[in-house]
Amino acid sequence: MSTPAPRSSYANGSVANMIRSMLVVGAIVAVLIAVVPRVNQVSQPPVDVSSVATQVAADTKWPIEVPQGLPDGWKATSARYVRSTDGLMTWHAGYQSPTGNYVAVEQTKDATAGWLAAQTNRARETGQTQVGGLTWGTYVRSGKVQNSLVHKAGSPGQLTTIVTGTGTFAELSTFAEALKPVSGTS
């Protein structure tokens, strides 16, 4: 008959052994964190606002607008034509300004008060300004940074245009002044 091997002192589960084990595991985790590459910034692929706008304009026959000739540093982030508040189909094109603020254009036909309130984040009108030869209402949402310029349609069937976002009114004005109808629309 053989005698059992003596039991290791490490198998006794002392506090000192547990601390040594945790230090070894911690060191391994630290090495893995140090050597595994991490992404510093997530960047999305560029958005082709022009081609989406051309398709929307061809489908709807609306004189939708996109900014043309913006200064360097503006980056397109989104473009879509979707059903919005009160069931209104809405053209949207979003951009990031050179300072990192968000600015978008929203356009629809026969805008309702509900649609206008939703697009301006229920901001109140604070005045008017002239941009690009048009009169725009200025809207400011207190407590939540959102500024908007609103050019209401002059008659039924025309587009109401909103330039809105976290941008300053100078950025919104630069953006609004750059808006031009997509070619090929009437």
Distance separating alpha carbons of residues 147 and 48, to the nearest angstrom: 25
Within-domain flag for 33: no
Q: What is the CATH number of the domain that holds 102?
A: 3.40.1000
The torsion defined by the Cα of 61, 65, 69 and 72, in degrees rounded to 10, comes to -130
pLDDT tens-digit series, residues 45-87: 778 899 999 999 999 999 999 999 999 999 999 999 999 999 9
**Helix (H/G/I), strand (E/B), else coil: 178:** coil
Within-domain flag for 57: yes
pLDDT tens-digit series, residues 89-137: 999 999 999 999 999 999 999 999 999 999 999 999 999 999 989 999 9
The pTM of the full predicted model, rounded to 2 decimals, is: 0.75
Within-domain flag for 4: no
Domains in the chain, number: 1
Amino acid identity of residue 121, one-letter, is N
Within-domain flag for 39: no
Within-domain flag for 58: yes
Residue span of the structural domain in which 106 resides:
49-181
